[in-house]
Structure 1
Amino acid sequence: MKAVAFSEYGPPQVLQVIEMDAPQVGPGEVRIRIKAAGVLPYDCKVRSGWIPPTLTVHFPQVLGNEFAGIIDQVGADVTQFAVGDEVLGFTLLKGYAEYVLAAPEQIVHKPKNMPWEIAGGFSGNGQGAHMALQALNVKAGETVLIHAAAGGFGTFAVQLALAWGAGMVIGTASEQNHDYVRKLGAIPVRYGDGLLDRVRAIAPDGVDAALDAAGPEALRASVELVPDKERIRTMVAVDLAQKLQIPALFGTRTVARLAELVDLYARGKLNIHIRKAYRFDEAADAHRAVESGHGQGKVVLVTE
């Protein structure tokens, strides 16, 4: 099979399309012929040389943590899925490939009305936003501030906060993305000097919780705006969060969490925008797009 991998750490151009043996299904597994795989900031960080404590990299290393496709092999003891089922799910550093193995606890059935590109980029940012907002304990009627609201993560976070009953969502974004943020249901605010005053003008009664996917400046602003540090989380400025005594974000991807998000999509509560779908041989461009930090919605790879 073909896969996208890297054999040395570095910039996006270290990504190469390689040939490798396709995995064969074992007991308790299914094999999925991948149609689309999401590109996450996590993938870019690993490619650049960041290695979290629980991860081991083996060159050539395939990337990719979310996918969608069609089951073409079913192992012994699997009763929930059959050959031909359309599914989406999550994995660890195996998604940029034509085939992937998964346990039933990693996949759910794809809604018929969900395009492949959306399905392939659904699990990672969706579950991340779910974990973060759950940690913030967002309640009905509250005001929530989401930094980097136009990106793949922010797109999920804005809509999920509203689906859970937030009274107002304020989203920071570059000015060219303000119309997009409005369509998501948030009130857009531009970055830069005067951010605190702009947010306070929109929410004179204060901000109840804040979620940062932009970086240190946004996290510092959140501390000024949210009275309780327990109700602030960051996806990116981890070192600064520790210095500011903001709780770290912990959580686990689960099939139950993914199923809840898929149900929201099926009921029209989540509208996911695909910024661009790239071929495998364009994977370096896909990483550059994600690392630019100013786009709208999700970036995905497609196998055909």
Structure 2
Amino acid sequence: MSEPTMKAMAYRSYGGVEKLEQLELPLPKVGPGTVRIKVKAAAVNPVDWKVMAGYLDPILDTTFPAVPGWDVAGVVDAVGFDTPEFAVGDEVHAYGRRDTVGIGSFAEYMTLPVGAVAHKPQALTFEEAAALPLTGGTALRTLDALDLSDGHTLLIHNGAGGVGQAAIQIATARGVRVLATASAKNHELLASLGAEPLTYGDGLVEAVRALAPEGVDAVADFYGGALEQTLAVLKDSGRHASIADAGAVEHGGRYIWVRPDGKELERLDALVEDGKLTVHVVSTRPMQEAAAAFEESMTGHAGGKIVLTSFTD
């Protein structure tokens, strides 16, 4: 009897987008405490093509052929033994990073531990639900590390990126005053999310000081290369964290790496249901166009989330 298979976009060795190809791979099995998800949408994140290029090889083992994708939304197709949290037919989403690189979300099916999975908010489409976990979880973990509350002032480097957009909304929901950097063309977007827009680059320190003469309570760096500016505008008692610069640790900051956590995702979903958090999807493509989606992501100017949808016949 032949083994059941599924379609997947995969790569057989590290490299660029030319390595991606559509393959027939074994259908993922369903073990105890896991759910198999029929993938409706998978978000594209810069880490996906960086993993494919081998950048994380020093810390993550890879099994080839490897399927990219850590963000997923879909419908539960099967559940493992003793999995009362979910039932077949449930609409779910998850940040599905594993300790090794293997079967990701750029496929027809994905199996994950129930601890990483949450029920999809009814307020979100599958595309929006797939776009939330990694960026939203990163923003939430960063803000939790900064311990911000009503009345604090926060500076965000790269407020127009996916993580930055989520962080602005989460922070403002907590009563935090948010200053955020972006290019001038994205200032209207930042303002619409609740931030006071600033242009990154030369003159940023002076601009921040003009708005917050005593300095800011915290800085969230979602871009990298801004440590000097961060320290220049931070109060002596301030806190800072970065998702892009491990050097922040040497200066009293935190280096953030989001974890798969269904409970954290439920916190984000609650903000969505309360109308305090939205997800901005700018581009969707069928799964077989993953290479083009990666190329779009590599430009760094998407202005929102890029999402892959189910394979077309």
Q: TM-score range by the shorter chain?
A: over 0.9
Matches within 5 A, 1:161-176: 161-166=171-176, 168-176=177-185
Q: Comparing 229-238 with 54-63, which one deviates more in the overlay?
A: 229-238
Partner residue, 1:198: 207
Match of 2:65 in 1: 60
Give the percent of matched residue pairs that are identical in Structure 1 and Structure 2.
Answer: 40
Alignment-derived partner of residue 272 in structure 1: 279
Q: Cα distance, 1:5 vs. partner? A: 1.6
Equivalent of 1:259 in 263, 266, 272: 266
Instruction: Sort the Cα spacing of 1:251 and 1:66 in 2 relative to 1 into closer, same or farther, 3 A.
Output: closer
Provide the C-alpha distance between the structure 2 equivalents of 1:255 and 1:220, rounded to a whole number of angstroms. 35
| SS of residue in 2 equivalent to 1:23 | coil
Q: 1-side partners of 2:265 and 2:231: how far apart?
A: 30
Q: Secondary structure at the match of 1:20?
A: strand
Structure 1 gaps, min length 5: none
Amino acid in the other structure paired with 1:88: H
Q: Please point out which of 181, 184, 189 is paired with 2:198.
A: 189
Q: Deviations over 1:50-97 (max 9, x none)?
A: 126542112211111110001111222112211111111121251111
Are 1:172 and 1:188, in contact at CA under 8 Å, matched by a contact in 2? Answer: yes
How far 1:30 moved relative to its partner?
A: 1.6
Alpha carbons 2:161, 2:304 under 8 Å: kept: yes
Gapped regions of structure 2 (runs ≥ 5): 1-5
| Mean Cα deviation higher: 285-294 or 101-110 | 285-294
Equivalent residue, structure 2, for 1:122: 132
The alpha carbon displacement at 1:177 in A equals 1.1
Distance 1:180 1:283 in 2: 27
1:210 matched to which residue of 2? 219
1:45 aligns with 2:76: no
For residues 220-259 of structure 1, the aligned pairs below 5 Å read 220-228=228-236, 231-238=239-246, 240-242=247-249, 244=251, 246-249=253-256, 252-259=259-266
| Residue in structure 1 matching 2:188, options 179, 184, 192 | 179
Moved beyond 6 Å, runs of 4+: none
One-letter identity of the residue aligned with 2:261: T
| 8 Å CA contact 1:229, 1:246 repeated in 2 | no
Q: Is the 8 A contact 2:249 2:255 kept in 1?
A: yes
Pick aligned residue for 1:286 from 279, 286, 293: 293
TM-aligned CA deviation for residue 291 of structure 1: 2.5
Out of 7, 11, 15, the residue aligned to residue 2 of structure 1 is 7
Cα distance in 2, alignment partners of residues 220 and 49 from structure 1: 29
RMSD between aligned alpha carbons?
1.8
2:142 maps to a residue whose letter is A
State how many pairs are aligned.
301
More strand by percentage: 2
Moved more, 148-157 or 24-33: 24-33
> Is the contact made by 1:229 and 1:247 (CA closer than 8 Å) also made in structure 2?
no
Check if 1:158 corresponds to 2:168.
Answer: yes
Normalising by the residue count of structure 2, what TM-score does the alignment of the two structures yield? Answer: 0.90
